[in-house]
Amino acid sequence: SAQPSNAPRRVENLHTEKGKVPVYATGIVEQPWDTYSADDHATWATLYARQRELLVGRACDEFLQAQDAMGMTPDAIPKFTELNEVLEAATGWTLLGVEGLLPELDFFDHLANRRFPVTWWIRRPDQIDYIEEPDLFHDLFGHVPLLMNPVFADYMEAYGKGGVKAHGIGPDALQNLTRLYWYTVEFGLIQQADGLRIFGAGIVSSKGESIYSLESDAPNRIGFDLERIMRTRYRIDTYQKTYFVIDSFEQLMDATGPDFTPIYARLAQQDTVGAGTVRDEDRVFHRGTGEGWTAGGDV
The binder of 256, among Fe ion, ligand PHE, none, by C-beta within 5 to 8 A per type, is ligand PHE
User: Which among Fe ion, ligand PHE, none contacts residue 29 (Cβ within 5 to 8 A by kind)?
Assistant: none
Q: By rule CB under 5 A, what count of residues binds Fe ion?
A: 1
Residue 186 annotated as catalytic: yes
Summarize as ranges the residues that interact with ligand PHE (CB under 6 A).
155, 158-159, 162, 165, 180, 256-260
Residue 155: its H or E element = helix 150-169
Per partner kind, with CB cut-offs from 5 to 8 A, the member of ligand PHE, Fe ion, none near residue 165 is ligand PHE
Residue 206 to residues 48, 114, 245, 289, Cα–Cα distance (Å): 11, 25, 18, 22
Q: What is the spatial distance between Cα 118 and Cα 105, in angstroms, rounded to a whole number?
A: 16
**Distance separating alpha carbons of residues 16 and 20, to the nearest angstrom:** 7
DSSP secondary structure letter of residue 51: H
Distance of CA 118 to the CA centre of its chain: 11
Compare residues 185 and 273 and give the one whose CB is closer to Fe ion: 185
Catalytic residue check, 250: no
* Residue 64 beta carbon to ligand PHE: minimum distance, rounded to whole angstroms: 24
- String marking each residue 191-210 x if it binds Fe ion according to CB under 5 A: ----------x---------
Contact residues for 139 (Cβ-Cβ < 8 A; gap 6+) = 116, 117, 118, 119, 201
Q: Which of 110, 186, 209, 213 is catalytic?
A: 186
259 binds, among Fe ion, ligand PHE, none (CB under 5 to 8 A by kind): ligand PHE
Catalytic residue ranges: 138, 143, 186, 205
